[in-house]
Amino acid sequence: MKSGNKSINIDEILKFIEENEPVCVSGISEKFNVSWATAKTLLLELVLHGKINMKKCGKTWIVWMKEGSKIKK
């Protein structure tokens, strides 16, 4: 996926989530150096594809891997 002029590797995002779950949207935006809105959009796409779960907790959004979506080693 492209974010502005940057290319973001979805597999890297999924690996980061799997290694650090649960993760908040701001954690993704900081790690991959994208805006909070871009990170949330990317994560919502992963929710739509059935890769991750996402839930609003207070003022933030938390994401974790969906069962069966773990990265095979």
For 10-61, how does the pLDDT look when each residue is reduced to its tens digit (9 = 90+)?
Answer: 899 999 999 998 999 999 999 999 999 999 999 999 999 999 999 999 999 9
Residue 7 resides in a domain: no
Residue numbers of the domain that contains 34:
22-65
Residue 5 resides in a domain: no
- For residues 47 and 20, what is the distance between their CA atoms, to the nearest angstrom? 17
**Domains of the chain: total:** 1
Task: State how far Cα 44 lies from the chain centre.
Answer: 8
Residue 60 resides in a domain: yes
Residue 2 resides in a domain: no
Residue 72 has pLDDT above 60, yes or no: no
Residue 14 resides in a domain: no
- For residues 7 and 1, what is the distance between their CA atoms, to the nearest angstrom? 6
Residue 30 resides in a domain: yes
